[in-house]
């Protein structure tokens, strides 16, 4: 595997998610790179500020839990001397840092960090923007629930954005002819399918808060079902 650009390691470094050799390499780089030093300081500050916006207290195992978010949230490296940049590039880089901090603080589900994912910058920016649209809302709040058979479902909802971020982690492996199906249940107890998953997942669901009372996960035949098969594997109140 090609080693990641050292400038992209500020996020996992702040989250204490680097292996020993990568940490040593980054700290050596940090001692002589003002750009990464500044970004590390700003990322830590953003994480502290965003933590105060979450209405649900984090669980005791938060150190292990918060790492899940960065699996699908990556950042651009800071601009270094000699590289051309535009005002748009600088705005994009700042948003990446904010989104990574928000995801790390707000989305609590077990997991780890895949450093190589940081290299796909186009996908990274899209994921950052979608997640930031929810996680940085002042009304964003987090709810959790266990999944039957093991695993956890976490939902971060924002009525202002009318979106939610859903994280499914450590789900049991299903038979080849079964799939996880995600549902939003409205106040009239009607279930609306909002996606399928073959395993662990982090996704943004549009239009998923207005009039919705609960989030559910069921096991369905491959391809999904028109209505949820009960009992549900997870049912989490959004009230």
> Domain ranges in the chain?
6-135, 141-237
Q: Please state which CATH class domain 141-237 belongs to.
A: mainly beta
| Neighbour count for residue 20 (Cβ, 10 Å) | 7
CA distance 37 to 227: 52
Query: Which H/E stretch holds residue 92?
Result: helix 87-106
pLDDT, mean over the chain: 74
Find which of 63-72, 94-103, 113-122, 192-201 is predicted with most confidence, using mean pLDDT: 192-201
Residue 66 or 152, more confident: 152
Mean pLDDT, residues 40-64 taken together: 57
Minimum mean pLDDT range among 111-120, 180-189, 208-217: 111-120
| Coil, strand or helix at 161 | coil
Please tell me the total number of residues recorded for the chain in this structure. Answer: 239
What was the pLDDT predicted at 46? Answer: 61
Mean pLDDT, residues 214-229 taken together: 96
What percent of the chain clears pLDDT 70, i.e. is strictly above it?
61
pTM above 0.75, yes or no: no
Q: In what order do the strands lie in the sheet with 212-221?
A: 191-197, 178-186, 212-221, 234-237
Residue 67 or 145, more confident: 145
207 band by pLDDT with thresholds 50, 70 and 90:
confident
What was the pLDDT predicted at 114? Answer: 38
What was the pLDDT predicted at 213? Answer: 93
119 band by pLDDT with thresholds 50, 70 and 90:
very low
208 band by pLDDT with thresholds 50, 70 and 90:
confident
Strand partners of residue 157: 141, 164
Helix then strand then coil, % of the chain, to nearest 5: 35, 25, 40
pLDDT digits (tens, 9 = 90+) for 141-189: 889 999 999 999 999 899 999 999 898 999 999 999 999 999 999 999 9
What was the pLDDT predicted at 66? Answer: 57
Q: Is the pLDDT of residue 86 over 70?
A: no
The residue among 224, 238, 133 whose CA lies nearest residue 182 is 224
What was the pLDDT predicted at 138? Answer: 85
Q: Is the pLDDT of residue 57 over 80?
A: no
Question: Secondary structure of 122-153 in the HEC alphabet?
Answer: HHHHHHHHHHHHHHCCCCCEEEEEECCCCCEE
């Amino acid at each position: 595997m090609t080693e990641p650009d050292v400038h992209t390691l500020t996020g996992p470094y702040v989250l204490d998610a680097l292996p020993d050799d990568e940490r040593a390499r980054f700290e050596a780089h940090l001692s002589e790179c003002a750009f990464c030093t500044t970004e590390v300081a700003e990322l830590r500050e953003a994480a502290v500020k965003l933590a105060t916006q979450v209405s649900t207290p984090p669980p005791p195992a938060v150190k292990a839990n918060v790492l899940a978010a960065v699996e699908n949230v990556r950042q651009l490296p800071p601009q270094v001397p000699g590289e051309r940049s535009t005002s748009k590039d600088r705005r994009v880089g700042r948003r990446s840092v904010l989104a990574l901090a928000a995801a790390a603080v707000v989305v609590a589900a077990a997991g780890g960090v895949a450093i190589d994912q940081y290299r796909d910058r186009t996908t990274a920016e899209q994921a950052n923007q979608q997640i930031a649209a929810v996680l940085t809302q002042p009304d964003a709040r987090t709810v959790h629930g266990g999944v039957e058979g093991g695993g956890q479902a976490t939902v971060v909802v924002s009525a202002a954005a009318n979106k939610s971020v859903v994280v499914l982690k450590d789900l049991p492996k299903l038979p080849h002819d079964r799939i996880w199906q995600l549902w939003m249940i409205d106040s009239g107890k009607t279930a609306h399918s909002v996606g399928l998953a073959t395993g662990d997942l982090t996704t943004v669901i549009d239009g998923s808060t207005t009039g919705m009372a609960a989030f559910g996960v069921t096991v369905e035949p491959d391809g999904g079902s028109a209505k949820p098969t009960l009992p549900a594997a997870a049912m989490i109140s959004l009230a």
